[in-house]
Amino acid sequence: MKKKNNIKKLITHNIGCEAETVDKLYYLLLENEETKRDYIDTRLVRHEDIISLLLYYYQYLSIEEVSKTIGKSSRTIQGRLQNTLDSLFIICDQQFKQNYDSFLENAGLLINPADQMEVAGIAADTVAIGCNSPQDYAAQNHMNSKKHGGTVMKCHVENDVDTGRVGFVSPCFGGSIHDKVIAETLYIQRDENKKPMVDSNNKTIFKHQDHPILGDKAYIGMPSFITPFKRTSNLTNQQLDHNAFIKQNRIKIENFFCKLKRFKILSTSYRGSLENLDKIIVVLSFIVDLENPNRYETDFQFNPDTLQTIKFDRKVLLQKKIKKTTSTTTRTTPISTTTPPIPTTTTTPIPTTTPIPTTTTIPTTTTLIPIPTS
């Protein structure tokens, strides 16, 4: 028991987040209707699997080292990590989509002191994640970035300027794609046929066009962003105030990237599959957002008492499944006991079914013996 308690203390200390955050994730998994059926009834992923997943992402150990610390085989841990990642991605992505409208409302508007222009209190930027170079030459060109000097994947994030809350996390793009091109693909308004919408002047309609959001110099020329002026010696005081306003309000998103990259799976060279990279970024972004004390009123209310009742119900469900498995095993045991006497019954009729009484024609052949003598 002491070894297990020491392992739990070591895990909760080295997963990169608080223990209450793990309880919140487990609470969301059990309360969600989509993941409740798969998470409890069929896959039976436990509370410890979330801890092992965060341990793997925070320290980025090998699966063999994680199996040694937890005390299970590497094959079972690899399967459970994938199951928990899939389940957590469904919940985190759903939470981001549900809370996006409230995110826009709570972000509010800011007034630029340089030109008294109303600006949305949202900052956006892309985070680059280094990856191992793939073997495919076309994939290498797609991921190669001259700015970062290697193969990377990019992800676009929107952040609240005041509270630091995360509102939007995009899927990953190749490192060769410019940040402006990524924003154009995400922010162009499209109709039902996925064609870009056009206004009366035949200009494409962009998201955040009425109240632009804060961006860096990579988004110069987009109507969805307010960007700083390039540094030259001829900048006026109004332009300097404009740059200072953008710089001050973009601190929160840079702090978010710093907190996100405390997980070594994103700060070091990523060596996993690219299909899981989108899910990992969404899950870890949601975990960082859970630890933000500035919560909205529309967010879910975590109640630890209900979590204890859910855990108790889950234990009862597991006991029922254990009883079912034990009952099925006891049913199969008498079948195995009846099988040994079967060869004995087959051996007993062999002497009884001797063909001696049936061969009555044999003595008739003896009467034919004197015929050749005549």
Q: Helix and strand tally (H, E) in the chain?
A: 17, 9
> Is the confidence at residue 311, as pLDDT, over 80?
no
* pLDDT in the model for residue 325: 52
d(CA 25, CA 54): 11
**What kind and span of H or E run contains 185?**
helix 179-187
* pLDDT in the model for residue 297: 67
* pLDDT in the model for residue 15: 82
Mean of the per-residue pLDDT values of the chain: 79
**Where is pLDDT greater, at 46 or 252?**
252
Instruction: Express the helix, strand and coil content of the chain in percent, nearest 5 each.
Output: 55, 15, 35
Confidence of residue 323 (pLDDT cuts 50, 70, 90): low
For residue 234, give both structure tokens: 């001829």
* pLDDT in the model for residue 153: 95
d(CA 248, CA 163): 14
Residues 329-351, mean pLDDT to the nearest whole number = 47
**Where is pLDDT greater, at 361 or 188?**
188
Residues 111-136, mean pLDDT to the nearest whole number = 91
**Where is pLDDT greater, at 280 or 293?**
280
Residues 337-352, mean pLDDT to the nearest whole number = 47
Confidence of residue 254 (pLDDT cuts 50, 70, 90): very high
* pLDDT in the model for residue 182: 95
* pLDDT in the model for residue 233: 77
pTM: 0.78
The pLDDT tens digits for 172-226 are 999 999 999 999 999 999 988 888 898 888 889 999 988 999 999 999 989 999 9
* pLDDT in the model for residue 96: 92
**What kind and span of H or E run contains 257?**
helix 251-260
What are the residues facing 145 on neighbouring strands? 150
Confidence of residue 20 (pLDDT cuts 50, 70, 90): confident
Residues 335-353, mean pLDDT to the nearest whole number = 47
Are 109 and 211 contacting, i.e. CB atoms less than 8 angstroms apart? yes
> Is the confidence at residue 154, as pLDDT, over 90?
yes
- By percentage, how much of the chain surpasses pLDDT 90? 38
- Please, what sign has the CA dihedral across residues 188, 194, 198, 203? positive
> Is the confidence at residue 235, as pLDDT, over 80?
yes
Residues 156-167, mean pLDDT to the nearest whole number = 93
* pLDDT in the model for residue 270: 92
What is the SS3 string spanning 109-163? EEEECCCCEEEECEEEEEEEEEECCCCCHHHHHHHEECCCCEEEEEEEEEEECCC
The pLDDT tens digits for 282-304 are 999 999 999 888 877 667 777 77
The pLDDT tens digits for 3-18 are 444 445 545 457 888 8
The pLDDT tens digits for 38-91 are 544 445 557 778 888 898 999 888 888 888 877 788 888 888 888 889 989 998
**Where is pLDDT greater, at 313 or 231?**
231
* Residues in CB range of 225: below 8 A, 6 or more apart: 124, 183, 208, 212, 213, 214, 215, 219
Q: Which residue has the tokens 């710089």?
A: 247
* pLDDT in the model for residue 272: 87
How do beta strands 150-160 and 173-174 pair?
antiparallel
